[in-house]
Amino acid sequence: MNENSKYDVEAIRREFPILEREVNGFPLVYLDSAASAQKPVAVIESQREYLSHFHSNIHRGVHTLATQATEAFEGARETIRSHFNATYTAEIIFTSGTTDGINLVAGTWGRANLKPDSIVVLTRMEHHSNIVPWQILSYEIGFKIEVVELLTDGSLNMKEFMEKMELSPDLVCFTHVSNTLGTINDVKKLTSLAQNAGAIVLIDGAQAAPHIKVDLLDIGCDFYVASAHKMYGPTGIGFLYGRLELLEAMPPWRGGGEMIASVSFEDRTTFNVPPYKFEAGTPNISAVIAFGAAIDWMNKVGIESISMHEQALTRYAHNELLKIPGLKIYGTAKEKAGVVSFLVKGTHPSDLGTLLDQLGIAVRTGHHCTEPLMTKLEIPGTVRASFAAYTTFAEIDALTAGINRAVKMLN
């Protein structure tokens, strides 16, 4: 079934301690990686090593521990820059995650550049994190938000996207991969069209970064955000990429230590250069180091190999799940990542998810922070199974059997 015959998923699974546990007396079948991926030993050990042997605050100290911690912290920044092919390490700003990164752009670039007559373009498939910050700012400033709708297969309506570009928007924001539908957007094309219309482009890469190789120079966007915990790293850490000239022109985000050049009661306080201008206070040092370790782990396995494995899983899941009477899959775009959202006629997604949990099968239910999408589809939510490097075909078989069993109990 796996078209990548050299991919040893069982060896990979042995690197994830949590996959050895049972839930409700059944082996854990973890199909919720789009919410948060599990962590390999390499990531777990990277945090333990730092906390056990060279914990110290960074940048300020001259002693050995401070030097070691700083080198590991900034080494992780370089790992991220290299992996995503940004030009400068100064373009990589550590945030608490994707949501924090989008709020940073809204609170700095957005507040400084958007005006009452500005237009911001979003899409129907956006996560709340790429909707609500712009709505909050629009209430303050008064600009208009335009929404690009989707086609029936869950792909972006390109005709409507082009029509929105004719409005000369100031900002265009879109997700790289839909967390609900799995749709992979042609972000390079969308970026080019938006920039040709005079817009700044922000891309939500939270669901793309774990699954596909992201090349920021090739895409050409202005801002890109992602979270470590989707990429086998820890929670509470992510990054914002911003083109250096934009970052240099943006006002600070939060005030405090590290983000200043000098502070004075008598004279005007001056601010540090990027990325430090946007990193006030002591950061989540161990998480940053572990983020670097997670990327190293992904590259050791091979992002292309992971992607091929997940694509094969997705095709198999579509084929097997559609054999279940009354099951409908939402999101059938040709270009799709390892996410399958579905409903079974006559069942509520939360009831189905609860019964699957009793069988040790972890899925996500609800609107997946895409409530405007669910409203448009006229459904209360979906059951979402999402895949990762460690997912097996046998787990999809377990899901299929579990759904059949649960549906019989509910009907």
Q: For this structure, is 369 an active site residue?
A: yes
DSSP string over 221-251: -SEEEEEGGGGTS-SS-EEEEE-HHHHHHSP
Task: Give SS3 for 259.
Answer: coil
Closest CA relative to residue 287, chosen from 233, 231, 206: 233
Residue given tokens 């699957």 in the structure block = 356
Q: In sequence order, what are the residues at sequence separation of 6 or more whose Cβ sits closer than 8 angstroms to the Cβ of residue 286?
A: 46, 47, 50, 51, 55, 234
Burial 246-270 (b: 16+ CB within 10 A, else e): bbeebebbeeeebbbeeeeeeeeee
Out of 369, 374, 380, 404, which one is annotated catalytic? Answer: 369
92-95: strand order across its sheet: 92-95, 238-242, 223-227, 200-204, 171-175, 119-123, 144-148
**How far is Cα 203 from Cα 173, in angstroms, rounded to an integer?**
6
Residues with catalytic roles: 369
